[in-house]
């Protein structure tokens, strides 16, 4: 009996040490997420990021701190239907600047690796902007300069909508016939955009881009690229994920692929389930759109309202880590990171309800045999290396 008690005691001691070990690793790592849509969420839902938004969003200023987030690149996005996308981009950046002005001890916009390191040392959230969609520069290279001055450190060449100079993954996949007589990939102007981004120090982001645009950009860029929120096509064959050759190419380029938490990019069966949900609530979604909510956010707001209907459809956390493992095997440990897409997605895998759940990723990586050194690279080191290489 005494022997059994000792065994039980040792077991609980081991479990306690394992738990404290992953939490310690997480706390000591510089955690950097390349893609969070809270700025758009706050505008669409009429909220403020420095309020307590638990239950309303995936993120808020205090939860970033609680989650151990050190560096956050905030997505600046609109869906391509805005009449003045450049003005909308500046409105979203104004939103963050207002939060910074109210909370200077908690968050600061940083523009280079020295400012970033200083913010981390002072326990401030180091914030940067990532413009999600080349349409937001409104075909004007001068607007790229203005983006850079405001703290934009990557631009996604396309969102789902193509521009006049770059084709998106959505259009290259769904509009093959109409594109056969038009340009596909980057035009000469598109290549000028990439070169200007390289010269300024704005990372070329290849999430959302079509395959031809991807290859044109890889061949044009003289700096390491980023894929800010995408997964592996081999595990989830949808247009937004990267095929094997693309993953290998990003590794050879010296870039980084940051895994996306959206359930539909983790598990292809989720798309059908979400489609049925959307069809069921079409009238409510249409009503929100009429009120001025962008379509993607109308769907997100309904999934939050009817949470119990979608929770069982979420894939496992393990399946998300499978994507990360797959990318590591093809590109190497130096070329994968985190691009959650929180507050821009309607569903994330089990155990990832909001940013405060980030430590479960660290635990999952430790359970899979990743070393502390490799975990530090995944949680932020790789992204910070690529940011520095583009300065």
Q: pLDDT tens digit string along 183-224?
A: 899 999 999 999 999 999 999 999 999 999 999 999 999 999
Q: Which of 176-180, 325-329, 381-385 has the lowest mean pLDDT?
A: 176-180
Co-location of 48 and 97 in the same domain = yes
Residue 204 falls within a domain, yes or no?
A: yes
Co-location of 260 and 301 in the same domain = no
Is the torsion defined by CA of 171, 172, 174, 176 positive or negative? Answer: positive
Tell me, what's the pLDDT at 20? 63
Residue 7 falls within a domain, yes or no?
A: no
Answer yes or no: are the C-beta atoms of 35 and 127 closer than 8 Å.
no
Q: Which of 314, 344, 372 is the last residue of a domain?
A: 314
pTM of the predicted model as reported, rounded to 2 decimal places: 0.89
Q: pLDDT tens digit string along 340-360?
A: 999 999 899 999 999 999 999
Take residue 256 and report the two structure tokens written for it. Answer: 């980084």
Co-location of 307 and 200 in the same domain = no
Residue 9 falls within a domain, yes or no?
A: no
Co-location of 345 and 310 in the same domain = no
Tell me, what's the pLDDT at 178? 65
Identify the domain containing residue 322 by its residue range. 29-267+316-389
State how far the Cα of 29 lies from the Cα of 380, in Å rounded to an integer: 7
Q: pLDDT tens digit string along 42-51?
A: 999 999 999 9
pLDDT band at residue 298 using 50, 70 and 90 as cut-offs: confident
Residue 10 falls within a domain, yes or no?
A: no
Co-location of 137 and 202 in the same domain = yes
Tell me, what's the pLDDT at 10? 37
State how far the Cα of 317 lies from the Cα of 321, in Å rounded to an integer: 7
Residue 15 falls within a domain, yes or no?
A: no
Cβ neighbours of residue 142 closer than 8 Å, sequence gap 6 or more: none
Residue 1 falls within a domain, yes or no?
A: no
Co-location of 78 and 183 in the same domain = yes
Co-location of 162 and 280 in the same domain = no
Q: What is the mean pLDDT of the chain?
A: 92
Q: Which of 281, 314, 347 is the last residue of a domain?
A: 314
Tell me, what's the pLDDT at 15? 41
Number of domains in the chain: 2
What is the arithmetic mean of pLDDT over 366-386?
A: 98
pLDDT over 90 percentage in the chain: 80
Q: pLDDT tens digit string along 310-323?
A: 777 899 999 999 99
pLDDT band at residue 14 using 50, 70 and 90 as cut-offs: very low
Tell me, what's the pLDDT at 300? 76
Phi, psi of 221 (to 5 degrees): -70, 135
Tell me, what's the pLDDT at 273? 76
State how far the Cα of 217 lies from the Cα of 250, in Å rounded to an integer: 11
State how far the Cα of 363 lies from the Cα of 333, in Å rounded to an integer: 17
- Among residues 210, 76, 179, the alpha carbon closest in space to that of 135 is found at 76
Residue 217 falls within a domain, yes or no?
A: yes
Co-location of 254 and 305 in the same domain = no
State how far the Cα of 36 lies from the Cα of 338, in Å rounded to an integer: 10
Residue 9 has pLDDT above 70, yes or no: no
Tell me, what's the pLDDT at 301? 80
State how far the Cα of 102 lies from the Cα of 91, in Å rounded to an integer: 17
Co-location of 141 and 230 in the same domain = yes
Co-location of 282 and 370 in the same domain = no
Q: Which of 285, 314, 343 is the last residue of a domain?
A: 314
Co-location of 108 and 251 in the same domain = yes
CATH number for the domain harbouring residue 260: 3.20.20.140
Cβ neighbours of residue 140 closer than 8 Å, sequence gap 6 or more: 86
Co-location of 196 and 308 in the same domain = no
Q: pLDDT tens digit string along 262-278?
A: 999 999 888 777 777 77
Q: DSSP characters for 117-152?
A: HHHHHTT-EEEEEEEE-GGGGTT-HHHHHHHHHHTE
Residue 4 falls within a domain, yes or no?
A: no
Expressed in angstroms, the distance from the first to the final Cα of the chain is: 64
Tell me, what's the pLDDT at 175? 84
């Amino acid at each position: 009996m005494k022997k059994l008690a000792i065994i039980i005691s040792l077991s609980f001691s081991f479990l306690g040490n394992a738990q404290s070990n992953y939490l310690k690793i997480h706390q000591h790592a510089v955690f950097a997420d390349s893609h969070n849509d809270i700025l758009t969420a706050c505008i669409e839902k009429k909220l403020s990021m420095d309020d307590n938004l638990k239950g309303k969003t995936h993120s808020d200023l205090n939860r970033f701190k609680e989650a151990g987030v050190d560096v956050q690149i905030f997505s600046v996005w609109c869906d391509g239907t805005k009449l003045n996308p450049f003005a909308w981009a500046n409105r979203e950046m104004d939103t963050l600047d207002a939060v910074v002005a109210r909370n200077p001890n908690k968050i600061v916009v940083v523009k280079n690796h020295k400012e970033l390191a200083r913010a981390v040392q002072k326990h401030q959230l180091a914030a940067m902007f990532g413009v999600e969609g080349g349409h937001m520069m409104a075909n004007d290279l001068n607007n790229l300069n203005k983006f850079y001055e405001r703290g934009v450190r990557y631009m996604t060449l396309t969102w789902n909508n193509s521009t006049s100079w770059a084709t998106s993954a959505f259009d290259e996949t769904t509009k093959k016939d109409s594109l056969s007589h038009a340009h596909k990939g980057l035009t000469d102007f598109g290549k000028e955009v990439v070169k200007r981004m390289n010269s300024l120090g704005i990372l070329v982001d290849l999430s959302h881009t079509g395959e031809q645009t991807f290859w044109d950009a890889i061949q044009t860029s003289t700096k390491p690229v980023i894929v800010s929120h995408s997964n592996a096509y081999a595990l989830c064959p949808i247009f937004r994920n990267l095929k094997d050759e693309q993953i290998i190419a990003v590794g050879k380029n010296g870039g980084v692929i940051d895994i996306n938490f959206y359930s539909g990019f983790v598990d292809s069966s989720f798309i059908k389930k979400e489609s049925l949900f959307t069809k069921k609530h079409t009238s409510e979604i249409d009503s929100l759109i009429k009120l001025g909510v962008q379509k993607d956010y109308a769907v997100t707001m309904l999934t939050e309202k009817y949470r119990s209907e979608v929770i069982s459809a979420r894939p496992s956390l393990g399946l998300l880590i499978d994507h990360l493992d797959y990318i590591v095997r093809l590109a190497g440990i130096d070329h994968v990171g985190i691009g959650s897409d929180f507050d821009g997605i309607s569903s994330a895998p089990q155990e990832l309800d909001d940013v405060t759940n980030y430590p479960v990723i660290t635990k999952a990586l430790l359970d899979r045999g990743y070393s502390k050194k490799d975990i530090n690279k995944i949680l932020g080191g790789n992204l910070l290396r690529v940011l520095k290489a583009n300065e």
